[in-house]
């Protein structure tokens, strides 16, 4: 396969006649994008948390109407259908999954509940950390494999089956996770255990840590197996959706977006359901990388603000940054994923007053049902969206392209009720809600900048989601970032990502050999991983010309836990080059003084990601330049920059922008289904791909 190291700069993909659809099921809205290669349509439909297929089918019906087709006609012509879903995220958020039992090596039964995880501190108290299974549902199996993969104590089949029977009878488990010590060296015992259980209990979901992630760190392997078992039922709703779409005429396979920013088949997703967690934000980050490359600004912080949360990721050279020990629900796992940090501050985040009498915003959300008060669906608690409507930032008459008329008076009354407890009027509370939400968002972005050591002179912001552009420029000014990009498909960018993401399948294996390499073992492992990655793409019917591979090596100083990831050429392990690059990167990350001359360097893990380019949607094109065409405002709106004083602000339509047009803030730009706020000290212009670029001209 070809080298995929520069994939971020080259997203060419096969083209064909037909329609491409991407869907992102969010907590409040289900976003959709449809493209026929020339025209791109978008839609937003309310999400039904109890049955997410309702929102998907509603969005598909809207797309069909825009394309001038019936839903059946559209589905029969679809050649790619990509879906990002919150199904797994919802299982974790509600803590309503399967009852899990764990089989582990005898003597290590309490290892999982040592809780080497992130713990929230609320008002000075450390919260008891949630784990998706009880300590009583762990059974130790008297088996042992040593660090070299040699069997010290063989597995006893009767002991395994007796342990499972006891877990079922005494603890009521209906899913099993298996994770033994050193199983990544020799998975024989885990494989035998899975086979024994499957033969006796064929309908029981079983997940093996060595199968999911055959690398060092048993804690991460164990949490990965347990969380997959816990979320095993999450895909039931996807099966229902597939049946509905096939009944309408969908003939192509459904591709599901995973947290690594790629797509897998629904069959493969059932083997690793946890991979689908945070798939929407990951898809949005991939799409944002494409926007960044087209804009000639390849380094950016992605800011995806929807109805429930704000998700922050970093794109460098057009490629989203990843981590190989993703933290999911505060639990450290061995899952590879795009590094997305979520904060509960979205448009639907509820404002409330804590025990100290302080105004707070989120993380609780009104979600789609009942939604913000201004939606008129029975909501009673003031949210960020209600505040933004009341302050004038959101036009109640054109919300969601005129598809919803917002109840301004309802929003005012909700804010007034909250304000009574603090001796404030509705406008004062609305202003406070906006300021607190903005502070929470800025805090999340500042944390990513600090932890990543980002140069704020190079990195700007790509704002998307339904609310991203309302807050992004204010955040950029506060954090001294130079620019903000608002894509043409900003409010549905994650859905566009679902319509464009490549097929990605990662394989990894522990090596643990000193550099320079003295045997062919590591080279043989790399070749085997390449072969397996190619088999994965063949299974997905990816043509040979569309297959690439991303090869990575994890290198570290001997006896250190932390490693650095180096990109390498497929099939090529150059010890001298790896040593030199490792030392350079180590010095950049930890300082030159931390380098040692005599400490051995070792290659700990090899990783290969098979990447298959697929049929994909296209971005809308920028309108042709019209040098003599003036850009006139479409109206004016009062904005409450201060709670007691409205300011008249010009409103422009994004569709009226042409190359060369520039608008100085303060101004609002109607982007169709979202709004861009450009405060004083900023200017807005149109650049490539229909993207609006807001430049920070003054920090004041």
- pLDDT tens by residue, 552-587: 999 999 988 889 999 999 878 999 999 999 999 999
pLDDT at 23 over 90: yes
First to last CA, the chain: 52
> Mean pLDDT for the chain?
90
* pLDDT at residue 8 in the model: 44
* pLDDT at residue 55 in the model: 94
What is the mean pLDDT of the segment spanning 244-273?
93
Q: In what order do the strands lie in the sheet with 100-105?
A: 138-141, 100-105, 175-179, 206-208
Q: What is the DSSP letter of 523?
A: H
* pLDDT at residue 69 in the model: 96
d(CA 510, CA 508): 7
- Which residue in this structure is represented by tokens 């008297």? 142
HEC states along 18-44? CEEEEEEECCCEEEEEEECCCCEEEEE
What is the mean pLDDT of the segment spanning 157-177?
98
Query: In this predicted structure, which of 148-157, 428-437, 592-601 has the lowest mean pLDDT?
Result: 592-601
CATH of the domain spanning 503-612: 3.30.1490
pLDDT at 208 over 70: yes
Bigger pLDDT: 593 vs 581: 581
User: From start to end of 408-546, where are the E strands?
Assistant: 460-464, 483-486, 503-515
* pLDDT at residue 5 in the model: 58
* pLDDT at residue 672 in the model: 81
pLDDT at 13 over 60: no
pLDDT at 129 over 90: no
pLDDT at 549 over 90: yes
What is the mean pLDDT of the segment spanning 59-74?
96
- Selection from 589, 301, 339 nearest residue 449 by Cα: 301
* pLDDT at residue 12 in the model: 53
- Selection from 661, 589, 590, 591 nearest residue 632 by Cα: 661
Domain definitions of the chain by residue range: 98-230, 349-436, 503-612
- Selection from 270, 262, 282, 271 nearest residue 328 by Cα: 282
Q: How far is CA 347 from CA 102, 231, 245, 471, in A?
A: 39, 27, 30, 11
* pLDDT at residue 616 in the model: 85
* pLDDT at residue 123 in the model: 53
pTM of the predicted model as reported, rounded to 2 decimal places: 0.90
pLDDT at 121 over 60: no
Question: Which neighbouring-strand residues pair with 551?
Answer: 568, 608
**Tokens describing residue 254:** 């459904």
* pLDDT at residue 428 in the model: 96
* pLDDT at residue 20 in the model: 96
* pLDDT at residue 94 in the model: 79
By CB neighbour count within 10 A (0-12 exposed, 13-18 middle, 19+ buried), where does 91 fall?
A: buried
d(CA 449, CA 477): 14
Bigger pLDDT: 688 vs 259: 259
Reported confidence tier of residue 452, pLDDT bands at 50, 70, 90: confident
Q: Which fold has domain 98-230?
A: Rossmann fold (3.40.50)
Helix, strand, coil abundance in the chain, percent, nearest 5:
35, 25, 40
What is the SS3 assignment for 100? strand
Reported confidence tier of residue 41, pLDDT bands at 50, 70, 90: very high
What is the SS3 assignment for 88? helix
Same CATH fold, 503-612 and 98-230?
no
Percent of the chain with pLDDT over 90: 71
Question: Which neighbouring-strand residues pair with 35?
Answer: 20, 40
* Phi, psi (rounded to 5 degrees) for 13: -145, 165
Percent of the chain with pLDDT over 70: 95
By CB neighbour count within 10 A (0-12 exposed, 13-18 middle, 19+ buried), where does 110 fall?
A: exposed
pLDDT at 93 over 60: yes
CA angle 561, 567, 571 (to 5 degrees): 110
Query: In this predicted structure, which of 285-299, 364-378, 478-492, 668-682 has the lowest mean pLDDT?
Result: 364-378
- Selection from 576, 677, 466, 574 nearest residue 31 by Cα: 466
Give me the helices (H) in 480-629, please. Answer: 493-498, 521-539, 575-590
* pLDDT at residue 592 in the model: 83
- At a CB cut-off of 8 Å and minimum separation 6, what does 310 contact? 303, 304, 342, 343, 345, 346, 440, 441, 444, 465, 468
* pLDDT at residue 78 in the model: 96
d(CA 381, CA 359): 13
User: From start to end of 246-297, where are the E strands?
Assistant: 254-257, 263-265
By CB neighbour count within 10 A (0-12 exposed, 13-18 middle, 19+ buried), where does 420 fall?
A: exposed
* pLDDT at residue 126 in the model: 53
* pLDDT at residue 579 in the model: 95
d(CA 97, CA 103): 18
* pLDDT at residue 15 in the model: 52
* pLDDT at residue 7 in the model: 44
Reported confidence tier of residue 625, pLDDT bands at 50, 70, 90: confident
pLDDT digits (tens, 9 = 90+) for 308-362: 888 899 999 999 999 888 888 778 898 999 998 888 888 899 999 998 999 999 8
């Amino acid at each position: 396969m070809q080298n995929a190291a520069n994939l971020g700069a080259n997203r060419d993909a096969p083209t064909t006649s037909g329609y491409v659809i991407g869907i992102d099921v969010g907590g409040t809205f289900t976003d959709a994008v449809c493209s026929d290669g020339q025209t791109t349509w978008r839609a937003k439909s309310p999400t039904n948390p109890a049955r997410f297929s309702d929102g998907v089918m509603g969005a598909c019906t809207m797309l069909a109407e825009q394309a001038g087709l019936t839903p059946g006609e559209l589905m029969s012509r679809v050649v790619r259908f990509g879906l990002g879903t919150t199904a797994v995220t919802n299982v974790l958020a509600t803590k309503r999954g399967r009852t899990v039992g764990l089989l582990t090596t005898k003597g290590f039964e309490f290892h999982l509940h040592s809780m080497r995880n992130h713990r929230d501190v609320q008002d000075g108290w450390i919260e008891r950390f949630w784990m998706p299974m009880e300590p009583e549902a762990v059974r130790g199996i008297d088996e042992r494999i040593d660090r070299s993969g040699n069997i010290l104590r063989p597995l006893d089949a009767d002991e395994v089956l007796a342990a499972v029977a006891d877990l079922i009878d005494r603890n009521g488990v209906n899913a099993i996770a298996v994770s033994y010590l050193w199983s990544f060296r020799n998975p024989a015992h885990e494989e035998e255990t899975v086979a024994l259980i499957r033969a006796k209990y064929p309908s029981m979901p079983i997940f093996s840590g060595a199968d999911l992630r055959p690398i060092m760190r048993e804690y991460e392997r164990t949490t990965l197996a347990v969380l997959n078992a816990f979320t095993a039922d999450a895909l039931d709703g996807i099966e229902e959706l597939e049946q509905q779409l096939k009944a309408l005429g969908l003939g192509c396979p459904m591709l599901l977006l995973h947290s690594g920013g790629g797509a897998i088949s629904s069959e493969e997703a059932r083997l690793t359901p946890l991979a689908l967690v945070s798939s929407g934000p990951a898809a949005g980050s991939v799409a944002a990388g494409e926007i960044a490359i087209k804009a000639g600004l390849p380094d950016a912080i992605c800011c995806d603000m929807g109805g429930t949360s704000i998700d922050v990721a970093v794109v460098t050279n057009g490629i989203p940054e990843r981590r190989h020990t993703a933290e999911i629900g505060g639990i450290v796992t061995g899952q590879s994923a795009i590094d997305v940090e979520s904060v509960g501050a979205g448009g639907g985040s509820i404002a409330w007053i804590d025990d100290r009498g302080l105004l707070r915003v989120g993380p609780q959300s009104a979600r789609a049902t009942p939604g913000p008060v201004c939606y008129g669906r029975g909501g009673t608690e003031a949210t960020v969206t209600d505040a933004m409507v009341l302050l004038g930032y959101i036009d109640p008459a054109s919300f969601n392209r005129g598809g919803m008329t917002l109840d301004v008076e309802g929003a005012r009354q909700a804010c007034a009720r909250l304000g009574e407890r603090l001796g404030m009027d509705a406008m004062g509370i609305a202003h406070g809600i906006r300021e607190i939400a903005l502070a929470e968002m800025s805090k999340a972005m500042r944390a990513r900048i600090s932890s990543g050591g980002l140069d704020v002179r190079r990195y700007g912001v790509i704002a998307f989601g339904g609310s991203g552009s309302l807050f992004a420029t204010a955040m950029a000014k506060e954090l001294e970032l130079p620019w903000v990009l608002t894509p043409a498909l900003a409010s549905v960018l994650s859905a566009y990502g679902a319509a464009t993401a490549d097929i990605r399948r990662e394989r990894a294996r522990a090596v643990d050999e000193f550099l320079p390499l003295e045997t062919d073992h590591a080279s043989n492992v790399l070749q085997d991983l390449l072969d397996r990655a190619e088999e994965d793409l063949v299974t997905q019917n990816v043509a040979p010309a569309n297959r690439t591979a991303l090869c990575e090596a994890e290198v570290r100083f001997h006896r250190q836990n932390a490693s650095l990831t180096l990109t390498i050429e497929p099939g090529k392990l150059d010890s001298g080059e790896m040593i030199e690059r490792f030392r350079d990167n180590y010095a950049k990350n930890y300082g030159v003084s931390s380098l040692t001359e005599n400490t051995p360097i070792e290659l700990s893990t090899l990783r290969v990601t098979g990447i298959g380019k697929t049929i994909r949607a296209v971005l809308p094109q920028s309108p042709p330049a019209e040098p003599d065409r003036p850009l006139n405002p479409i109206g004016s709106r009062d904005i409450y920059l201060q709670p007691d004083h409205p300011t008249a602000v010009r409103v422009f339509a994004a569709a009226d922008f042409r190359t060369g047009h520039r608008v100085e803030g303060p101004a609002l730009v109607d982007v169709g289904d979202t709004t861009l706020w450009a405060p004083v000290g900023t200017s807005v212009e149109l650049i490539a791909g229909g993207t609006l670029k807001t430049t920070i001209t003054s920090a004041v």
